[in-house]
Amino acid sequence: MHLRLFLASAGLLTGALVGLSGTGAGAAPQAAATVLYVAPGGTDAAAGTQSAPTTLASAISRVTSGGTIYLRGGTYAYGSTITVPAGTDGTSAAPTTLSAYPGEKPVLDFGAQTESSTNRGIQLYASYWHLYGLTVQHAGDNGIYVGGSHNVIERTVTAYNHDTGLQLGRIASTTPSSQWPSDNLVISSESHDNADSDGEDADGFAAKLTTGTGNVFRYDVSHHNIDDGWDLYTKTATGAIGPVTIEYSLSYSNGTLSDGTVNDNGDRNGYKLGGDDIAVNHVVRHDLAYGNGHHGFTYNSNPGTLTVSDNVGIDNAERNFSFDRGTSVFRTDTSCRFAVDGSNDKTVGDADGTNQFWTGTNGARCATYAGALGWSFASDGKLAVTFGGRAVTL
């Protein structure tokens, strides 16, 4: 089991969440005509310079393909959705960038919105954009909704929204499947405490219902969402989605908000990987599911051939791994129980001897792993893990 590799990779992610500088958009500001600056006190007609910042909506309407919009630190109060329209694309060689100004934290707060499917925070309908370092919170629906393709969403935080924090899906009901969002990368991002009133839809991250191929989640953390950490749900009305890759990511305590709120309608899984008996061959590797309110990893009626490798499930309320049928391939996965009793894992498919699934007999081996890695449990039963040399309590 490559646990040390997983923890080292997760250290990159954890560092991102405490503001370590990154590559790409987080570099020094460009001194070019295509750079626009936005600040909480900016105005629509302002020039968009550092001394005369404009508004985000105005900057989006003015930025040229391959240009950059810098958001200065502070809180931006919004009552309406901010949309990056389809067709305002960057290019593969020169994406258009919407970034936090280096060293500063812009918080886009949509608290004036009511809970409604029409009240998203940011809608990214264009392609070849790079969103970096933004916090989006309190939207009436999704915090960030991505309908375009070939985008990079990096080091964002989506929290306290009234539907899934960050979701990929088609732009409109008339959008053909050939134009569903594809080849998007969500990297080093966090999503937490998203909750809708009925408790059934607000996940941390989702690529569900109407997404194309090539979408990847990497080094991401999803926790304390009312429903699932990740949701790759499909339904008969819209058919199969493209295979999704989730790798080097962490999903914990989903189904319970940070304040202790639980909604019995929530599914409460760490990684929910299907729906409606539709086969999609997702890839789920080097991920950790800890302390979620139902299953850690679940096929959720996806009968396809999923690649499930090098994952760790710990103390999820029912099963750490729950795959009742299908032809999935399981390699080097580990399931452990320390503080929570649950049912035995079920892994229908191709599972060889490299795995340690929970049958009520592998506790001693899991304890050996835990001790070797320096894991421990706090007095309240929460898992204390060291990620890249930094202690984190989950």
pLDDT in tens, 226-259: 999 999 999 999 999 999 999 999 999 999 999 9
- Residue 61 has a CB neighbour count (10 Å cut-off) of 13
Q: Can you give the pLDDT at residue 340? A: 85
Any bridge partners for residue 329, and if so which? 307, 350
Lookup result for tokens 């599914």: 267
Nearest to 3 by CA among 382, 380, 390, 371: 371
What per-residue confidence (pLDDT) applies to 23?
44
Give the CATH number of domain 3-30+163-393; options: 2.160.20.10, 3.40.50.360, 2.160.10.10, 3.40.50.10190.
2.160.20.10
pLDDT at 380 over 70: no
Active-site amino acid positions: 272
pLDDT at 361: 74
DSSP secondary-structure letter at 239?
Answer: B
Q: Does the model's pTM come out above 0.75?
A: yes
pLDDT at 16 over 60: no
Query: What is the pLDDT averaged over residues 187-207?
Result: 97
pLDDT band at 393 (very low <50, low <70, confident <90, very high): confident
Which residues are within 8 A (CB) of 82 and not within 5 positions of it... i.e. 6 or more apart? 56, 57, 60, 108, 121, 122, 123
Confidence of residue 10 (pLDDT cuts 50, 70, 90): very low
H-type alpha helices, 18-103: 56-62
Question: Measuring CA to CA, how many Å separate 185 from each of 17, 31, 36, 54, 244?
Answer: 17, 27, 24, 28, 10
Is the pLDDT at 30 greater than 50? The verdict is no
Higher pLDDT, 283 or 384: 283
What kind and span of H or E run contains 153? strand 152-154
pLDDT given for residue 12 in this prediction: 34
Residue 97 phi, psi (nearest 5) = -115, 135
**Average pLDDT, stretch 257-282?**
97
Residue 21 reports pLDDT greater than 50: no
